[in-house]
Amino acid sequence: MKKYLPYIAAWLAAAIMAQTLYFKFTAQSESVILFEKLNMEPYGRILIGILELIASFLLVIPKTRFIGAFIGIGLMSGAIFFHLTIIGIESNGDGGMLFFLALIAWLCCFYLSFKPTLKLVKSILGKRTNILILAGIGMIALASAKSFAQGCSDAGFCSVGTLKSEATDSSNVSPYKNKISLIPSIGIGEDNTFILTPALQYDRQFNQSWSIQTKFTVNYANGNLGKAFGLGDVIQSCSYLIPSQQKCRVSFTLGAKIPLSNSNLTQNGSALPMTYQSSLGTLDLIAGIGLKLYEFKAAFGLQAPLVNLYSSTGTRSANTYLPEKSNPEYADRYPATNGFKRASDLLFKLEYNWKTGKRLNLIPGALAIYHLAKDSYLDQSHSTIPITGSDGLTLNLIATAAYKITKSLRASITAGFPVIVREVRPDGLTRRFVVGPEISYQF
């Protein structure tokens, strides 16, 4: 009987999540009322439905069960939290049924993920070297919390294709063709705005040279001007590695960032600044080249806004935020972004892949982003106003710790802090603190 328990737990959790999908995707009143209470209707309802569909699918496949359980724990933890706070244990006269189903699904997912997680912790804590390395990463994260006056985030291309930090051996090609990654990012933006940006990523390796990557993001922001939730971007890229037997490997990436929202989310009819927006709203070109020599890697990248898909004014944003029209108590804390026009960025990254054992890699490096020109906005008379101090260099020290749990399962965390910053960053990408964990499954 014991050997069947994982199957029972997986199918039970999957069934509980799947049975709510009809209500979410067809906008049944029972579901709409719940998400309206959470100020997340309709995008939150649709997003949660998509994530529950993905988690249910992954749970019933033995090889991806751990990933499904990991996603399920996050979803059910949120459901339980909101039932205990905003919604209440009983909702819409159901006698607490939804709450107890969420609790059962959480227990099933916890059971399925407990042993793999315990194995990971024991493996990490079993070596003194690993403890020291993790302590070092913790110190970097702590430094980040104190030093992120301007943040080290970018407009989306820092982790695309060949520009992304990878804990792989340059001499080996992975036997796996597919990879699914869950990348939740939690940060504190301007004026202590809480920002949650989960991302789901899929990588496909066709052969030793060609690969594609698709990344889907959403964004939730909560600060003194209100709350905002919306779809983010789809970042699609294609990479090519030049076949070579030499130690120096060269790769290229070409892609696009496709916005899923118009960068003009509002609160009670009032425009919100870019800090609260889930996307910059522009269709961007992304191009990069990577050079890898032994364990050193250098990457060069360009991100250029091409057109705003939600505005008829070229690359100008649909955002309408002006401080003089906002809450006077907080107005001067956010730069004006009415008709915001963002300049292009150049990226240069240099890093070293330090292998500390068979499972753990530490990748320290430096990341420079140069904003090629001043951003601008439109004042109340529709005159173009350049934003002084918005151009120039941001230089960051970064570090990634990557751990190989099994042959196909990896976990990592990235931290960084700036040493040189631009004076003004009106694009809303400022982070005083950010944590970027990632878990990926290859198959």
pLDDT band at 154 (very low <50, low <70, confident <90, very high): low
Give 171-190 pLDDT, tens digit per residue: 455 678 999 999 888 777 88
Better-scored residue on pLDDT, 339 or 47 = 339
Q: State the pLDDT at residue 353.
A: 92
Residue 90 has pLDDT above 70, yes or no: yes
Contact (Cβ atoms closer than 8 angstroms) between residue 63 and residue 408: yes
Residue 440 has pLDDT above 50, yes or no: yes
DSSP symbol at 341: B
| Summary mean pLDDT of the chain | 84
| The CATH classification of domain 146-442, taken from the options 3.30.930.10, 3.40.50.300, 2.40.160.40, 3.40.640.10 | 2.40.160.40
pLDDT band at 167 (very low <50, low <70, confident <90, very high): low
Residue 156 has pLDDT above 80, yes or no: no
Compute the half-sphere exposure of residue 231: CA atoms within 13 Å on the CB side of its CA: 18
Query: Of the given ranges (174-188, 242-256, 266-280, 339-353), which has the lowest mean pLDDT?
Result: 174-188
The whole-number average pLDDT for the span 399-411 is 87
Helix (H) or strand (E) holding 305: strand 296-308
Helix (H) or strand (E) holding 297: strand 296-308
Q: State the pLDDT at residue 207.
A: 92
Better-scored residue on pLDDT, 147 or 388 = 388
Q: State the pLDDT at residue 213.
A: 96
pLDDT band at 233 (very low <50, low <70, confident <90, very high): very high
SS3 track for 89-145:
CCCCCCCCHHHHHHHHHHHHHHHHHHHHHHHHHHHHHCCHHHHHHHHHHHHHHHHHH
Three-state SS for 349? strand
pLDDT band at 150 (very low <50, low <70, confident <90, very high): very low
Listed in order, the ranges of the chain carrying CATH 2.40.160.40 are 146-442
Residue 366 has pLDDT above 80, yes or no: yes
Q: State the pLDDT at residue 1.
A: 66
Q: State the pLDDT at residue 147.
A: 39
The contacts of residue 170 (CB under 8 Å, 6+ apart) are 247, 249, 292, 294, 295
d(CA 27, CA 6): 33
Which amino acid, residue 115? K
Query: Of the given ranges (112-116, 152-156, 220-224, 405-409), which has the lowest mean pLDDT?
Result: 152-156
pLDDT band at 238 (very low <50, low <70, confident <90, very high): very high
Give 45-68 pLDDT, tens digit per residue: 888 888 899 989 999 988 888 888
Ramachandran region, residue 431 (left: φ > 0; alpha: ψ -120 to 50; beta: rest) = beta
Q: What is the pTM of this model?
A: 0.69
Compute the radius of gyration of the chain from its Cα atoms.
Answer: 22
Q: State the pLDDT at residue 173.
A: 56
Q: What percent of the chain has pLDDT over 70?
A: 88
Q: State the pLDDT at residue 422.
A: 85
Q: State the pLDDT at residue 135.
A: 54
Sign of CA dihedral 162, 194, 423, 317: positive
Better-scored residue on pLDDT, 17 or 159 = 17
pLDDT band at 259 (very low <50, low <70, confident <90, very high): very high
Contact (Cβ atoms closer than 8 angstroms) between residue 44 and residue 91: no
Q: State the pLDDT at residue 242.
A: 92
Residue 71 has pLDDT above 90, yes or no: no
DSSP sequence for 176-234: --EEEEEEEEEEE-GGG-EEEEEEEEEEEE-SSSEEEEEEEEEEEEEETTEEEEEEEEE
Residue 359 has pLDDT above 70, yes or no: yes
Q: State the pLDDT at residue 148.
A: 39
Which amino acid, residue 181? S
pLDDT band at 155 (very low <50, low <70, confident <90, very high): low
d(CA 324, CA 328): 7
Contact (Cβ atoms closer than 8 angstroms) between residue 240 and residue 209: yes
Residue 169 has pLDDT above 70, yes or no: no
d(CA 342, CA 254): 20
Contact (Cβ atoms closer than 8 angstroms) between residue 432 and residue 223: no
Give 123-138 pLDDT, tens digit per residue: 555 555 555 555 554 5
SS3 track for 371-383:
ECCCCEEECCCCC
Q: Is 354 exposed, middle or buried (0-12, 13-18, 19+ CB in 10 A)?
A: middle
Residue 149 has pLDDT above 90, yes or no: no
Q: State the pLDDT at residue 140.
A: 46
Residue 143 has pLDDT above 50, yes or no: no
Residue 26 has pLDDT above 50, yes or no: yes
Query: Of the given ranges (96-105, 110-119, 304-313, 338-347), which has the lowest mean pLDDT?
Result: 110-119
Alpha carbon separation from 427 to 84, 247, 251, 282, 321 (Å, rounded): 36, 39, 30, 12, 12
pLDDT band at 374 (very low <50, low <70, confident <90, very high): very high
